[in-house]
Amino acid sequence: MSFRGNSLACKKENQEKIMTPFADSMFNEITRCPWCNSESREDWGEPQDGIQAVECSKCGLIYMGKMLNAEGLAKFYSDHLSQVHLADENKRQQRELMYQLEFKYIHGFTGPCSVLDVGCSGGYFLDVFKEQGYETLGVEIGTEGAAECGKKHSVYQGDFAFMDFDRKFDLIVFRGVIEHIPLPKTYLEKALSLLNDGGYIYITSTPNAQSVPCRVFKDKWRLHNPLPHLMHFSVRHFDEYFASHGFCKRGEHFLYEETPYANIEEDILLVAKAIEAVREGKKIDFASPPFYGVMMSVVYQKEGEQ
């Protein structure tokens, strides 16, 4: 089964299975933008699973109006590895190929060094780094993921923002993680404090809110999953943040054609079909395909490099 074989109906079924066990007490209503703290916002798309997404009128961040609180997050990630990350063998194999592509990109900047993977799950991305001579360490909030990662790498289990480290790192990775964090700047600030001079921050496999599918499909965007994906960033959010802390941007890349998900002709036709529906004032009744610009990889370097 290919990536595109999952219909919108299947996507909704999977979301409902995840949503079912969570009581109302496990959610917090969000009244301010998690990025800029503004209260000004407008609804974005239609509600999904009882969660309305909104777009900040000040900074443009798209975020969920209701998010899991600490109790809900602990429950969600307790068995995330087995129930979501490893549940589909086809997706697992595709992800292995993505690890190689994403590693190749950052390796061109750093070479072997010390790397901290924040939200490392079972340590599968770290495996690629270790094979290439990197010194690896992971952080994972989920108990299953931390246990699996610990079989191969040094790992800390818990909330990254509140952890104490006795060392710094040359490279800190956020792979498909920052959009899951209720207060993302707390994680980024922690990472800044742990980075060696000349070190790199690598944000990869992160949905891009400025991509055509996000802007056209909105709540039918395949990566709009309101329970785990708490917000949708644009590259400029990170550009502005890291520039304000004296970092230099070293790279920006959007993997698509080289990925196992791409079917260029079919994907273009589906996006064109959606654009036509919007022009005609019709609702889009199918999920977006993989496409150009959807998943960002960005690299920033701390001042102090030679």
Contact 38, 51 (CB under 8 A): no
Alpha helices in 132-262 (DSSP H): 143-149, 184-193, 212-217, 235-244
pLDDT at 17 over 60: no
Residue 4 has pLDDT above 50, yes or no: no
Using the predicted structure, report yes or no on whether residue 21 has a pLDDT greater than 50: yes
Q: Examine the pLDDT at 237 and tell me if it is beyond 50.
A: yes
Q: 3 has which bridge partners?
A: none
| Average pLDDT of the segment spanning 153-176 | 97
How do the residues of the chain divide into helix, strand and coil, expressed in percent and rounded to 5? 40, 25, 35
**Element spanning 50, H or E:** none
pLDDT band at 86 (very low <50, low <70, confident <90, very high): low
Q: Is the pLDDT of residue 240 over 70?
A: yes
Mean of pLDDT over the chain:
92
With CA atoms as reference, report the closest residue to 207 among 288, 113, 132, 89.
Answer: 288
User: What pLDDT was estimated at residue 78?
Assistant: 78
CATH domain 89-301 topology: Rossmann fold (3.40.50)
What does the pLDDT look like over 97-140, one tens digit per residue? Answer: 999 999 999 999 999 999 999 999 999 999 999 999 999 999 99
Q: Which of 190, 142, 196, 189 is nearest to 168 (CA)?
A: 196
Q: 179-192, pLDDT tens digit by residue?
A: 999 999 999 999 99
Q: Where are the beta strands (DSSP E) in 49-113?
A: 51-56, 62-64, 66-68
Query: Which long-range contacts does 131-138 make (Cβ < 8 Å, 24+ apart)?
Result: 132/103, 132/107, 134/171, 137/169
Residue 53 has pLDDT above 80, yes or no: yes
Mind listing the pLDDT tens digit for each residue in 193-234? 999 999 999 999 999 999 999 999 999 999 999 999 999 999
Residue 85: its pLDDT value, please? 64
